[in-house]
């Protein structure tokens, strides 16, 4: 039987979601903990491949088990969370069809990137900007990103994607208060490093080094060297993942 598991994690201790030789990953920790909690070897497939340091408030992965334990789901969650390291928390299990896929079935993903403009002792997951930003100009610059486009200019070079086409349905900046900003972007899929490169490009506009119209030119160029530098991963959060079918928690 196949299940989805919903989890959140602080990406700081990990080299991303995906299992890699000789480095810590969220996937490795989930497979280890689930195998212990369920008493059988478990392989986990995630909804995406967050990079080193990137966080998730709402992440979905799927796995298969021969049978679901008779114990209550809440008790199993407590058991699983006791095994998982402090940086990862499992929040819910969902029974899904045997062919459901956490990654390929997802129809949208939402990321948020956090920025602070003044010294903040609590901003451990936010990017410090040392200059003032024009939020209105950054939103004008983000408008051409909406819709279906080739996002090659915002992809880390060397990717092996079959296509660089993504459909973006939301891309906006907002001020949380006088010194804190957040950028929210939603799309059907994301390329590697796409959000961080997009934020770095928009910041060039926000600090007045480029005109808002420049971002549309970068998009059309389909050349990573035309865009701005990527920003740090620690300030990036995967906030939501949507599926074309309802998820009913066990």
Residue tagged active-site, from 10, 28, 51, 105: 51
- Chain position carrying tokens 């899904």: 96
3-state helix, strand, coil in the chain (%, to 5): 25, 30, 45
231: which DSSP letter? P
- What value does the CA radius of gyration of the chain take, rounded to a whole number of Å? 19
- Containing 100, the helix (H) or strand (E) segment is none
Instruction: Tell me whether residue 177 is one of the annotated catalytic residues.
Output: no
Q: Where are the alpha helices (DSSP H) in the chain?
A: 26-38, 73-83, 135-142, 194-206, 214-221
| Tokens found for residue 137 | 């100009």
**Positions marked catalytic:** 51
């Amino acid at each position: 039987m196949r299940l989805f598991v919903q989890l959140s994690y602080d990406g700081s201790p990990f080299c991303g979601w995906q299992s890699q030789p000789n480095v810590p990953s969220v996937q490795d920790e989930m497979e280890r903990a689930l195998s212990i909690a369920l008493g059988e070897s478990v392989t986990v497939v995630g909804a995406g491949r967050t990079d080193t340091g990137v966080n998730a408030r709402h992440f979905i992965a799927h796995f298969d088990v021969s049978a679901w334990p008779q114990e209550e789901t809440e008790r199993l969650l407590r058991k699983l969370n006791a095994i998982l390291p402090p940086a990862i928390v499992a929040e819910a299990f969902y029974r899904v069809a045997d062919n459901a896929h956490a990654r390929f079935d997802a129809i949208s993903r939402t990321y948020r990137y956090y920025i602070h403009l003044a010294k903040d002792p609590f901003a451990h997951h936010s990017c410090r900007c040392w200059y003032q930003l024009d939020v209105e100009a950054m939103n004008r610059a983000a408008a051409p990103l909406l819709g279906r486009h080739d996002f090659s200019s915002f992809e880390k070079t060397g990717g092996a994607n079959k296509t660089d086409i993504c459909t973006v349905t939301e891309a906006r900046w907002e001020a949380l208060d006088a010194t804190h900003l957040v950028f929210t972007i939603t799309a059907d899929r994301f390329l590697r490093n796409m959000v961080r490169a997009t934020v770095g490009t928009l910041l060039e506009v926000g600090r007045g080094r480029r005109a808002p119209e420049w971002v549309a030119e970068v998009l059309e160029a389909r050349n990573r060297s035309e865009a701005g530098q990527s920003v740090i991963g620690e300030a990036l959060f995967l906030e939501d993942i949507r599926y074309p079918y309802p998820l009913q928690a066990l």
